A and B are shown apart, each in its own frame.
Chain A
């Protein structure tokens, strides 16, 4: 769906421009009110905006992953997850397999970020890996891969970082206005007209500081619902099995615990709202995500070929809206034989992921490994997990009493 890709790139640029204007306005007003020089405020604010824009483009993903306490994992840490990610990467026709991260949290959720498909990152929580079977996991990863393929990740990443920055800056500005600046302003006021202009500017500054986070939020949320629907459509198409994602969403929605590492800035990135706020009315107005029950119903009522047109049809049927969500080029594509690309080959992995105890064990092992634990397979069938900086050279198996030499880093 190339219009989407183009639109997302355009939106990223518009976002930058809007931020620049917003910053310039606030800087101008603050400079006038507090520094006797609107130009100085303007220059500082624009420089700051440019710096933030560059920062969010170049390392927004690292900032987001760090603030979410995500740890990068390798193939051997969780082979099934890696295989699923690679399969979905291939199904989406993307050039490079994204880096995979795991978040040590019980609430099931996932997000994708990065500036382009070559630098994409996908993060999933431990709770997700513990709860979903292979088909469901594939649905979720397909959704995230949809965000990557549609280039949602760039826009969402930059918006997240800038939104966070604006919220912080507005707070700083608010306190600066409350506690500082007042005295100097009065002594330097020139004629009566100047004083009046200053008073107006003060009002403008206050209004902007209060409204800036709100503007930023609106800008951010404007199109994020549509993005979620489209990523669902991509998932259905890649997996040819919408039921997988539907079941996954059901499990995610059924889990009541909020995700501790998510905040208001990063919430929109996740596959399902991680904050789970109680008050419905307000949540609906600014909600970044469509209601999960609706997404599930759309996925379940897909019929025929598992392509974008089928999703669009189901969307219109469920929501009762006349206009669908899929852009023109997506509807054009009426291809796709309905067969899900599953071979008997995944049976072993499917069985492994179908067993909850095995899932919990695999997820735990991936986390242990991330903390530097070493795994030693004892011939008696026990796996010994040796903590990093273990004081002794030899570990004794508690089951069979064999000694294992761990000096040579095996």
Chain B
């Protein structure tokens, strides 16, 4: 009789633990989803700012048609890929950042452009958006890491494989700040 109760107790405890583990996984997955939405907002904002920038710059930089075109193209590519896989988007956004950087570098040679208030405002907005992207990325990558840890570690990994929780991809951008910081790789 007592043994029966003990077994029942163990079974109940086991079920409670399973439920808690499952809920925790769902919570972490939602956190990843929300964190991605934050990145998405900032990326969209950047995409929206660029046509204005190109329009403003056009008049001043007749001889830099190619630079402008590559910005427009990179933006189009990034817009097309939004909603795609995280790695693809990261790649497109990296390319866009690079073209923007070269655009602003070229702009240094045009004093009239640098005196244009509209240009300055757009430059500032793009800069602060880029900054926000990096903070959103920090939050997203943290969320991804704790989710992936839970998926890989015992005992939650059994729960994860049973209910098909798949690992999330982190969002890697290659910018200057990133290169300065020492990077630790966990893969391999």
A contacts, CB < 8 Å to B: 79, 83, 86-88, 90-93, 238, 240, 332-346, 348-349
Contact = CB atoms under 8 A, between A and B. Distances in A.
B38 interface: yes
A343 B136 contact: no
A343 B177 contact: yes
B138 A345 contact: no
A338 B182 contact: yes
Contacts of B130: 343, 345
Interface in B139-177: 139, 141-143, 145-146, 149, 175-177
* Interface of B, helix, strand, loop or mixed by DSSP: helix
A341 B34 contact: no
| Chain A to chain B: the 4 pairs with minimum beta-carbon distance, closest first | A339-B181, A345-B127, A335-B145, A341-B134
A339 B178 contact: yes
A337 B141 contact: yes
A343 B134 contact: yes
Pick the most buried of A92, A238, A336, A345: most chain B CB atoms within 10 A of its CB.
A345
B63 interface: no
B128 A91 contact: no
Contacts of B145: 335-336
Given A339-B181, A340-B177, A90 B127 contact: no
Instruction: Name, among A79, A90, A93, the residue most crowded by chain B CB atoms within 10 Å (CB to CB).
Output: A90
A86 B132 contact: yes
Contacts of B34: 93
Given A87-B132, A93-B35, A333-B146, A338 B181 contact: yes
B124 interface: yes
A88 B38 CA distance: 13
A337 B184 contact: yes
B128 A83 contact: yes
Contacts of B128: 83, 86, 345-346, 349
B14 interface: no
A343 B35 contact: no
A345 B97 CA distance: 11
B177 A336 contact: no
Contact of A346 (B131, B143, B149, B181): B131
Contact of A90 (B136, B149, B183): B136
Most chain A beta-carbon neighbours within 10 Å: one of B131, B149, B177? B131
A44 to B, nearest CB: 45
B134 to A, nearest CB: 4
Nearest to A307: B142
28 contacts: A83-B128, A88-B135, A90-B38, A90-B135, A91-B138, A91-B139, A93-B35, A93-B38, A332-B146, A336-B142, A337-B181, A337-B184, A339-B177, A341-B134, A341-B137, A342-B134, A342-B177, A343-B130, A343-B134, A344-B176, A344-B177, A345-B126, A345-B130, A345-B131, A346-B127, A346-B128, A348-B124, A349-B128
Nearest to B138: A341
Contacts of A334: 149
Nearest to A80: B128
B146 A341 contact: no
A307 to B, nearest CB: 8
A79 B120 CA distance: 14
Contacts of A93: 31, 34-35, 38, 139, 143
A334 B148 CA distance: 12
